[in-house]
Structure 1
Amino acid sequence: MHKSIQKRCNYITLVFWLFLGIFAITRTVLLIRSIDVLDISLIEILKIYLIGAFYDFVSVSYLVVPFVLYLIFLPKSFLNYALNRYITYTFTFLIIFGAVFLAFSEWFFWDEFNVRFNFIAVDYLVYTNEVIGNIRESYPMGVLITIISLISIFIFYIIYKTQYIENFLQNQSSLKDRLKPALIYLMVPVISFAGVTQEFTKTSTNQYNNELSKSGLYSLFAAFRNNTLDYDKFYITDKEESVMTNLKKAIDINSSAFLNLNDVTRAIVNPKIEKDYNIVMIVVESLSGKFLESLGGEKGLTPNLDSLAQKSMFFTNFYATGTRTVRGMEAITLSLPPTPGRSIVKRPDNHNMYSSGFILKNRGYETKFIYGGHGYFDNMNEFFSTNGFSVVDRSDFSKEEDTFHTIWGVCDEDLLNRSLKEADLSYRAHKPFMSFIMTTSNHRPYDYPDGRIDIPSHTGRDGAVKYTDYAIGEFIKKAKEKPWFKNTMFVIVADHCASSAGKTEIPLDKYHIPMIVYAPEILKPQVIDKVSSQIDIMPTLFGMLNWSYKSKFYGNDILSSSFKERALMGTYQKLGLYKENKLVVLSPTKKIKNYEVVEQGIYDTKYKEINIEKYLESEAISYYQGASTLHKKGLDRYESQ
């Protein structure tokens, strides 16, 4: 290549080497950080770095497109002007700063979620107020920005001393000469967009290895690109008639209960006298099963919940459907399997769904979603307010009611105290009530009021878990003094686990959560060890109320003798059915795998891959394809009964 052309291309080459070098260092740091959970061998290490370098290269090719275009059309007479010199040096420093900042961000994201950037990171970019506030409260930002700046200045100084930029600014190539190399740079992202997916990273049975093979920047691009996934386009499908037949068999063994041919509407008949017990549901942020000693987990973190479990109906083999709060909300209120891509809570077409809120409201209940944060986050207020609930969020708290808060919301004590007031209002209005209470204290920065527990605030998740446990214990004590207590069922359940990453695609231990139903005047204490899911919560509670109703729920009454044990769970892309000690996993690109659970504990799950069992495959497909089809057709909506 001609020397003058080479000089102008050298600047783009510089950008590539900067990012590729910083990304390689980042990958190495994350590898060392996770060395105890990786499969380490020469072949595995080579795959991590070579595949990772490929994705790093592709992601940087997207990033340089604007500057390639700038270099093509910038006349050579302006290249060495003062303004362009200023732009070039400023742009170079910003590139370096951005790359180093991205590396630090990846460390903290990995530390929190054990994965590269994904949909969560996309959401974080959308809800900047909460996220920036959380970062400020969680980390010493002044120190971190100073360190990032010093590293960036050092790298910039080295580049400056090499005369790389000065040589570039002296370039005198013509537009015709510039077009040839520029076209090569522009073709890389075009080809990559058409032919490169994250599937190329899946070369190991260890998910941590696969995550390290990814590029954080490319994963962020991919998350934006694949915000929603059409089931029919990306997953294994069956004929619609077969899907509906199999789905009905999976949901209800009584085929005569179904009222319509083309959906899952069915009649739930209960011959007993109906009750109007109040329901107070406390959905606890990130309450993994491993935090409860009564589930075989850590000792001393949840003394109040462990004590309540002994006096309650305690579900010990219970699973979350997903890894985000909105997944838990979706599953509990709508009794739906997790959909690929975005949760229903965050989709624009989520009004007037077949929601438990409407069922309760039309039976005279006051239904409230009570949240300590601002409910615009994750579209919560919009979802609940259009699906049978009124909303009480942080904007409704007075200064006296808000005694302590973080960026995510008021502390759990304040939230639960306000929930008591809302229950009192319903009681005085002679209305039965259902409160859906979403906590926030068990969330980074893990801050809470001093003097409540023996773990100092802002020292980690263990303290936040113990504080939430304390707040629930105080709430129950106060509730016992209320006239409505004896007629109330208290449901305590997690939205999801504290961590979702594991060596396998869908690690069961990262979905295992507690569910407690405490009602000493109504229910006898007992342990329920049936495999069940968040989608079964409301059908089970309606069964406790002896209600007959028309249902479009995918879940069922766990206490029924006809209940068929299974759990549905997924990530944004992987969809799982856990049944009969086997796990079926549906993946994009129309792939399916079947595993047998060899060993399951509260901290780890071991699988072995087995041949596909057709009846399990058909059931898994029927749940997810059926839910997708009915949602597209609008057949999962509520009609007055």
Structure 2
Amino acid sequence: MKRILDSRFGIVFILAITACVLFLILRTALLINNIAVLDLKVLDIPLIYGAGLIYDLAFLSYLLIPVVIYLALLPNKRYQGRIHRYIAYIIAILVIGLIFFDMVSEWLFWDEFQVRFNFISVDYLVYRREVTGNISESYPVPLLLTGVAICTLIVFVIIKRPIDLALKATTSLKKRLVGALILLLIPTGCYLALTSETFSHVSENNYKNELAKNGPYQFFYAFFANELDYEQFYQTGDKQVLDQRLRGLVKQDNQTFTSTVPFDISRQVSNVGPEKKLNVMMIVVESLSGDYMTRFGNKLNLTPHLDELANNSLFFNNFYATGNRTVRGMEALTLSIPPTPGQSVIHRPHNEGLFSLGSLLRDKGYDSKFIYGGYGYFDNMNYFFSHNGFDIVDRNSYAKDESVFGNVWGVADEYSFLRASREADKSYQAKKPFYSFIMTTSNHRPYTFPEGRVDSPSGHYEGAVKYTDYAINKFIEDSRKKPWFDDTIFIIVADHCAGSAGKSDLPLERYHIPLFIYSPKHVKPGQFNAITNQIDVAPTIMGLMNSSYVSRFFGKDVLRMKPEEGGRALMGTYQKVALYRDNKMAILSPNKKVDVLEDVKTVPTIHDRTADPALVDDTLSYYQGASYQLHNGLMLHKAGENK
């Protein structure tokens, strides 16, 4: 052991041993603090600490990879120099300080959630203002940080002498490279070990599983996994009971279920008469809040063309987004699923081959295309759409006359619409119907657009909204001249509102967005007042086409809703998910918390689940069902099923 500590890589071993001891102390403290709920048995201790050591080594081996490479390549003369000594001291202090900071953070996090770091901790990076404010008001932050600094210096003083001895080592380049190679194999071994069930699930008692884990390792895992485990963190119910309830919530009078598997809502949709092969232009408008429109009370006349179009369309007055990010809107409009906790499905791994409107229409002979004025690698959009039934048309493929004006987010909307029109021309010439999912970008900061289009300057949201209104109107007017116009349904819908802040956790007004269905030859203008949601768009489009198909959509064809149905909306943040109807909202939160809000549109009052058990059970049915589907392959597209 002495030979190892006195070697070139001695500092790596010193830091690793120190960190493992600190992680051991934290794990033991958490174990003692939770002894009452652990139900410890003789073999639990070696399992918890054994698996824990692997997790600790995994995180440390990843963390120290740059240090190992640096030490392997540094010549002996510089290695033994004064500058390198100070660099080594700084690295040691940083590593120790970060681990002490982690220990404090994990203790507080566990105190609130009874788990190691997960997607909630990643979520804290998104809502930094709220989180830092909450922490500063809840804990003595200056005292804690002072304690971290003092403990870091004490430990550094203890290990400084061994570090100094290691800094005197002289090692040939060959031995350094061999040593580095051996050390770099450790992360690979740890990764392989942690992919096995043995280390990820040491017990049926989840407290024991969490104790075995390493907080920083779990943080980065959650960062890339992008999901909160629904059954672990949210209220659940009996699967068989909720399955039957969910079937009742999604079924309509022209549908028959084709599966008895729990939460498999596959159903045959049967419509009488010939199917209409209508084209679909779905214009998804960046951040178009409902309150931008004059018809919803805006006094600035930002959307004169859209306000006029609303009178000539089937316009939805009580339509709501599922979330407050673009990917949430895309997810709902494409997959017709509730906003499950954590990141959007678009960001998650294993999101390929899902049942989507794009894949469904492609099976029916359509050209399904995702058309975006920006670079589609952003938010994983290109990957998601290309693996779920769409061809990709993004900024990389735009011609010069389609890229005359743009900013960091993408080309101006009028040029995206120009490209969409040209793609429609190609499909028409090939005698194929088309479905184009067009994502706009101009109504987004920095709010820049070509000069001379509207009477407001660039750089402010008012001008950007006016420009968006102008560009959509121009696109529709230009489309009137096209041979495909008469047989095209134009869907105009926002991805989400411009803001998400409000007095409550899920402020209803921050989810209210417009929806237009415009097709002079096929859709009668009117006002639709029932509560509807982005997840209802896909099945409603299929209904307008009088299409018969096997559906896995959670949404409804709202044009077949019965008069007595008041409608509902599903919505959420990263952590909280909700069901809204009848001026009430049931909200599910981590730690299996359930709240019922009454008088949502006026002054919401919070009650427990007993205020409306039926609303709560319906909420559980939607979200537990959607989570179960995603994890059990029940949401997959079956090629050829709908040809």
Whole-angstrom distance in 2 between the partners of 1:374 and 1:523: 34
Shift of the alpha carbon at 1:80? 12
- Give, in whole Å, the separation in 2 of the partners of 1:324 and 1:525: 30
Distance 1:259 1:235 in 2: 29
Deviations 1:2-48 (A, max 9, x none): xxxxxxxxxxxxxxxxxxxxxxxxxxxxxxxxxxxxxxxxxxxxxxx
Aligned match of 2:405? 404
Distance 1:536 1:638 in 2: 18
CA distance in 2, matches of 1:85, 1:632: 50
The aligned amino acid for 2:305 is N
Aligned to 1:424: 425
Letter matched to residue 599 of structure 2: V
Q: Residue 279 of structure 1 corresponds to which residue in structure 2?
A: 280
* 2:451 equivalent in structure 1: 450
C-alpha contact 1:598 1:608 (8 A) present in aligned 2: no
1:19-418 residue pairs with structure 2 within 5 A?
81=82, 119=123, 224=223, 227-252=226-251, 257-262=256-261, 263-418=264-419
Change (3 A) 1:253 1:484: closer
- Asked if the contact 1:332–1:538 (Cα under 8 Å) also holds between the matched residues in 2, the reply is yes
| Counterpart AA for 2:226 | N
**AA aligned opposite 2:473:** G
Which runs of at least 4 in structure 1 moved beyond 6 Å after TM superposition?
86-93, 171-174, 220-223
CA contact 2:508–2:601 (8 Å) conserved in 1:
no
Is 2:585 aligned against 1:586?
no
SS in 1 for 2:537: helix
Amino acid aligned to 1:382: Y
What amino acid sits opposite 2:272 in the alignment?
P
1:32 is aligned to none
Q: 2:601 aligns with which of 569, 575, 599?
A: 599
- 1:480-519 equivalences under 5 Å are 480-519=480-519
Specify the SS of the correspondent of 1:336. coil
Deviation for aligned residue 1:226? 8.1
Q: Contact conserved, 2:225 with 2:348, CA < 8 A, in 1?
A: no
Residues 510, 235 of structure 1: alpha-carbon distance in 2 compared, 3 angstrom cutoff:
same
How big is each residue's C-alpha offset from its partner over 1:51-86, in whole Å with a ceiling of 9 and x where there is no partner?
xxxxxxxxxxx9xxx99xx9xxxxxxx999555568
- Contact kept, 8 Å, 1:340 with 1:571, in 2: the verdict is yes
1:389, distance to aligned residue in structure 2 (A): 1.1
1:400 Cα deviation (Å)?
Answer: 2.4
Write the distance in 2 (CA, Å) between the matches of 1:339 and 1:388: 22
Q: What amino acid sits opposite 1:507 in the alignment?
A: P
Letter of the 2:327 partner, please give it.
V
What secondary structure, in the 3-state scheme, does the structure 1 residue paired with 2:481 have? coil
Q: What residue number does 1:24 align with?
A: none
Alpha-carbon distance in structure 1 between the residues aligned to 2:222 and 2:444: 23
Q: Distance in 2 between matches of 1:500 and 1:511?
A: 8
Distance 1:402 1:384, change over 3 A: same
Post-superposition Cα deviations, 1:483-542, rounded to whole Å, max 9, x if no partner, equal 111111111000111111212111111111000011122222100011010000011111
Q: 1:536 to 1:256 in 2, by over 3 A?
A: closer
Tell me, yes or no, if the aligned pair for 1:249 and 1:255 is still in contact at 8 Å: no
Partner amino acid, structure 1, of 2:588: L
Q: Residue 57 of structure 1 corresponds to which residue in structure 2?
A: none
**Aligned residue for 1:629?**
628
Structure 1: gaps (5+ residues): 1-61, 71-77, 94-115, 125-163, 179-192, 196-216
Which whole-Å CA distance do the structure 1 matches of 2:392 and 2:123 have between them? 26
Q: 1 CA distance for matches of 2:124 and 2:552?
A: 30
5+ unaligned residues in a row in structure 2: which ranges? 1-58, 68-78, 95-119, 129-148, 164-209
- Aligned equivalents of 2:286, 2:348: Cα separation in 1: 22
Q: What residue is the counterpart of 1:23 in the other structure?
A: none
* Structure 2 counterpart of 1:237, one-letter code: T
Q: Percent identity?
A: 46
Q: Distance in 2 between matches of 1:256 and 1:403?
A: 48
Deviation, 1:227, is: 3.0
Distance in structure 2 (CA, Å) of the matches to 1:86 and 1:333: 52
Structure 1 pair 173/261, CA: closer, same or farther in 2 (3 Å)?
closer
Superposed CA deviations along residues 351-387 of structure 1, whole A, max 9, x for unmatched, are: 1111111221121111111001111111111111111
Aligned 8 A contact 1:266 1:551 in 2: yes
For 1:291 and 1:485, how far apart are their aligned partners in 2? 28
Q: Within 2, Cα distance between the matches of 1:223 and 1:261? A: 33
What's the offset of the Cα at 1:296? 2.3
Q: 1:561 is matched with which residue?
A: 561
1:270 and 1:496 map into 2 onto residues whose CA distance is 32
CA distance in 2, matches of 1:296, 1:276: 37
CA RMSD of aligned residues (A): 3.9
Q: Which amino acid aligns with 1:395?
A: N
Is the Cα–Cα contact under 8 Å of residues 283 and 495 in structure 1 kept in the other structure?
A: yes
Q: Paired residues, what number?
A: 473
After TM superposition, give the deviation of residue 612 of structure 1 in Å.
3.4
Match in the other structure for 1:212: none
CA distance in 2, matches of 1:172, 1:318: 63
- What is the one-letter code of the residue matched to 2:585? L
1:581–1:86 CA distance, 2 compared to 1 (3 A): same
Amino acid at match of 1:398: A
Alignment check: 8 A CA contact 1:599 1:607 kept: no
Corresponding residue SS for 1:276: coil
Preserved contact between residue 279 and residue 433 of structure 1 (Cα < 8 Å): yes
| 8 A contact 2:566–2:581 mirrored in 1 | no
Q: SS of the residue aligned with 1:409?
A: coil
**Counterpart residue type for residue 388 of structure 2:** N
Q: Secondary structure at the match of 1:504?
A: coil
Q: For 1:68-120, what per-residue CA distance to the aligned partner results, in whole angstroms no more than 9, with x for missing partners?
A: xx9xxxxxxx9995555688899999xxxxxxxxxxxxxxxxxxxxxx99649
The 1:511–1:86 alpha-carbon spacing in structure 2 relative to 1, beyond 3 Å, is same
1:464 aligns to 2:455 (yes or no):
no
* Letter in structure 2 aligned against 1:523: V
Q: Cα gap change, 1:174/1:449 in structure 2, threshold over 3 Å: closer, same or farther?
A: closer
- Per-residue CA deviation, residues 252-274 of structure 1 (Å, 9 max, x unaligned), is 26597211111101121211332
Distance 1:497 1:85, change over 3 A: same
1:294 Cα deviation after fit? 1.5
Larger Rg: 2
Partner of 1:438: 439
- Write the letter of the residue equivalent to 2:586: V
> Would you say the 8 A contact 2:341–2:574 is kept in 1?
yes
* TM-score normalised per structure 1: 0.67
* Distance 1:327-1:463 versus aligned 2 partners, 3 A rule: same
- For 2:104, the equivalent position in structure 1 comes to none
